[in-house]
């Protein structure tokens, strides 16, 4: 089969400009990074993917939105990138933005400057070797727009080609998979209990109703993003359950959660049909009572 060309990608995108980039790339059967690369020279710029260069530079932008996702869950937090802690596993510890990232997975990056109905839509998007999104930073109205061009210029790579060749990803050191694995739970090697269907959704709703502070962790092999605090507005929309609060959005596919387990430390993990971790949820004072009210799994 002949590979789709950058020009063909741009033509197809012009016909469907409103579809989310991730969904559009999946529809075309290409990695999302291939879609970004097709627009290099117009609305996209290839930039360094080195976290030691990207993350310290983001502080100059002020308020932005940090987005980390997997196939079934998206976490978006508004804040500033500060207190960068470099290392093999690097971190941003500057609430409300809290990130842990595996630098080896950050292989490709693009700065996007697209036209939107309310003005420019600007973002920095990082991908792994296969072209899967690892982390994204979106500018907002309150972002210091004057810092955008100098940041992109400082990160710009000499190679501004429009092609992208995906490569296999190394499964070693997967931050997200290492956080929680399903086998020890199923095999009874941990004193965990499997919860009834809908447990995560009920915990989200009850936490919002009772103002119990909760923690969410959402991630992929190269980045984990966390939220800690009270949630207020929890709404269902189709297959999604959503937290829609100022400065915080979480979108979770209810139909993707095949198993939910309460861990010995009180955290609750939702897994997909293939045993992949989707989201981890835990809480502060009052959380134990919410968890105790959850029924056990009934096959």
Residue 150 in domain: yes
Same-domain status, 126 and 202? no
pLDDT reported for residue 2: 60
pLDDT reported for residue 88: 93
Taking only the tens place, the pLDDT of each residue in 211-263 is 999 999 999 999 999 999 999 999 999 999 999 999 999 999 999 999 999 99
pLDDT reported for residue 219: 97
Same-domain status, 150 and 210? no
Give the Cα separation of 179 and 109 in Å (integer). 25
- Domain of residue 11: give its range: 6-155
Residue 89 exposed, middle or buried by CB count within 10 Å (0-12, 13-18, 19+): middle
Q: What distance lies between CA 225 and its chain's CA centroid?
A: 7
Provide the terminal-to-terminal Cα distance of the chain, rounded to the nearest Å. Answer: 45
Same-domain status, 128 and 206? no
pLDDT reported for residue 1: 41
Same-domain status, 13 and 127? yes
pTM of the complete model beyond 0.75: yes
Residue 104 in domain: yes
Give the Cα separation of 124 and 122 in Å (integer). 7
- Backbone phi, then psi, for 247, in 5-degree steps? 80, 0
Same-domain status, 135 and 213? no
Residue 161 in domain: no
Residue 12 in domain: yes
CATH number, residue 233:
3.40.1570.10
The number of folded domains in the chain is 2
Provide the 8-state DSSP code for 180: -
**Does the pLDDT at position 46 exceed 90?**
yes
């Amino acid at each position: 089969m002949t590979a789709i060309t950058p020009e063909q990608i741009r033509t197809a995108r012009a016909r469907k400009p409103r579809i989310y980039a991730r969904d559009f790339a999946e529809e075309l059967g290409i990695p999302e990074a291939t879609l970004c690369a097709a627009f290099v020279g117009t609305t996209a710029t290839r930039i360094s993917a080195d976290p030691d260069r990207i993350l310290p530079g983001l502080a100059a932008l002020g308020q932005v939105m940090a987005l980390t996702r997997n196939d079934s869950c998206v976490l978006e937090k508004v804040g500033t990138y500060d207190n960068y802690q470099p290392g093999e596993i690097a971190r941003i510890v500057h609430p409300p933005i809290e990130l842990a990232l595996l630098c080896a997975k950050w292989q490709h990056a693009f700065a996007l400057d697209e036209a939107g109905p309310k003005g420019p839509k600007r973002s920095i998007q990082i991908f792994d070797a296969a072209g899967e999104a690892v982390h994204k930073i979106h500018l907002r109205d309150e972002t210091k727009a004057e810092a955008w061009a100098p940041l992109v210029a400082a990160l710009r790579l000499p190679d501004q080609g429009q092609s992208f060749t995906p490569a296999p990803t190394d499964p070693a050191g997967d931050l997200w998979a290492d956080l929680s694995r399903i086998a020890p739970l199923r095999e009874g090697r941990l004193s965990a209990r499997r919860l009834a269907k809908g447990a995560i959704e009920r915990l989200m709703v009850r936490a919002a109703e009772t103002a119990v502070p909760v923690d969410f962790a959402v991630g992929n092999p190269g980045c984990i993003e966390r939220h800690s605090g009270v949630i207020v507005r929890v709404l269902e929309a189709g297959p999604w359950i959503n937290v829609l609060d100022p400065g915080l959005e979480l979108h979770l596919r209810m139909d993707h959660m095949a198993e939910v387990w309460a861990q010995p430390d009180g955290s609750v993990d939702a897994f997909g049909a293939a045993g992949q971790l989707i989201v981890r949820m835990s809480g502060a004072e009052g959380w134990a009572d919410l968890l105790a009210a959850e029924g056990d799994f009934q096959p």
